[in-house]
Amino acid sequence: MTFGIPTPGKIIAVHLNYPSRAAQRGRTPAQPSYFFKPASSLAATGGTIERPAGTELLAFEGEIAIVIGAPARWVSPENGWSHIAAVTAANDFGVYDLRSADKGSNVRNKGGDGFTPIGPAAIPASVAGQDGWRVRTWVNGELVQEDTSDTLLFPFGRLVADLSQHLTLETGDVILTGTPAGSSVVVPGDVVEVEVDAPAAPGAPSTGRLVTTVTQGEHAFGDFGTKPAIDDDQRLEAWGSEAELLAAVADGRASAPDSAAAREAAEPAGLDPEVRELLSQAAVATISAALRKRGYHDVFIEGVFPNHAGDRIVGTAKTLRFIPFRPDLFKEFGGGFNAQKRAFDQVAPGEVLVVEARGERGTGTVGDVLALRAQVRGAAGIVTDGGVRDFDAVAEFEIPVFSQGPHPSVLGRRHVPWETDVTIACGGAAVQPGDVIVGDGDGVLVIPAALAAEVAAEAAAQEREDAWVAEQVAAGASVDGLFPMNAEWRAKYEASRSAQPTTEADAR
């Protein structure tokens, strides 16, 4: 190493250790877990790292590295810190494109040459206690990570004790202690800087900034080993969220997700504009009658009301399902980028978020931040058979929200966010992704996608009849024989239609 510590015999890295990172990942480990990095992956400050040819998802992870002083074997958590000689900064780079090749070992995706920059200076561990350290990371001058060691799930002494149960930690061995939230992807030309300091110690000693510049590799991987491969899950995990990924796509820093490309290539995409227009002009009551003729009697989402008088919803369903609250399940699935956040962060323009809350109105299922996110994404509306938190604030937004009404509690009181894009039951109605959702003051209906066009056409025709009947009643006609029309009135109606110019809407 360049800062006076001999090259370590072992470099051991911890998977998840900061609550902020665990929340981002949506899982909190009960015990620490580890992987090895080769000594050949070490690099000094001011160096470069190659993004391997054929890969896309090179991610940084700023970390606090601890350096073993006195050898440790079977030590206690209370004594573990005393075996640490120095603290420094590290960057645990990894290529998500190669994760599938490693089956958890991280040999290929985190073991490349230059994938463990460390330094530039080591700080004696004695200057602060194990809770007195801070790590910060900058990308192109922008602060993207900041956290402190007093928040760790597994303090430094516990890591030393745990590892010493299995192997001897020798003088000079290095432990990378985990990265906080904010890790993301970098591309050639980006500059990443990591600094560790002890801000409350006398003089606030610092390692200085560990600087690494990303370059593009030119050597392609051969056919004699597993080649890079990524999918949308890897893209989202590497970038941190769909919002970050899509922003990178817009900036030319990332390729579009496969799902987005598939949606763009789909034919037709979303709800046909003409069908949408016909449904927008038809009352839910009229559409309901057309569905009943076809045997669909249980497609009404019961018990939901709009947050604005006169609101209408027309769009295709994107579904979100909550299950009943259970502490262990909420601990595992309720945090981080959970199913609820994914649904609101990924809803597409023209889609309606439909939420299964089992009719439980005793807690919120959407609040102001998520409702605003759906509005910004271009969602056509939100339907939940549960409650709405921040009800007044949500009512200030333009997006129509149909719900059982307000409730101040968060979802952790009664719900665990479970899954998206599956068949759900909302207000007693079955809803599948892609079903057509139509709502007005009378309520909300679910139209099977395959029936949408014919139901829309029939509802539009019925609306024209109803409008003509209303004109006759307004002119003094009795409803007897007119509503519904007998043969005489039907002939009059058809004659009036024949006398009118054919419009584009009529032709449809």
For residue 1, the model assigns a pLDDT of 41
Cα–Cα distances in Å, from 220 out to 51, 384, 429?
A: 11, 50, 53
Q: Regarding the domain delimited by 297-447, which CATH topology (the fold level of the hierarchy) does it fall under?
A: Glucose Oxidase; domain 1 (3.50.30)
Task: Please write the tens of the pLDDT for every residue from 175-221.
Answer: 999 999 999 999 999 999 999 999 999 999 999 999 999 999 888 88
**Residue range(s) occupied by CATH 3.50.30.40 in the chain:** 297-447
**Residue range(s) occupied by CATH 3.90.850.10 in the chain:** 11-230
Residue carrying the six token digits 């640490």: 84
Work out the pLDDT band at 226, boundaries 50, 70, 90: confident
* Integer Cα distance of 353 and 371 in angstroms: 10
Report the SS3 class of residue 124.
strand
- pLDDT surpasses 80 at 506: no
Q: Which residue has the higher pLDDT, 331 or 314?
A: 314
For residue 264, the model assigns a pLDDT of 43
Q: Regarding the domain delimited by 11-230, which CATH topology (the fold level of the hierarchy) does it fall under?
A: Fumarylacetoacetate hydrolase; domain 2 (3.90.850)
For residue 259, the model assigns a pLDDT of 60
The string of DSSP letters for 390-450 reads SHHHHHHSSS-EEES-B--S-GGGTEEEEEESS-EEETTEEE-TT-EEEEETTEEEEE-GG
Task: Please write the tens of the pLDDT for every residue from 378-399.
Answer: 999 999 999 999 999 999 999 9
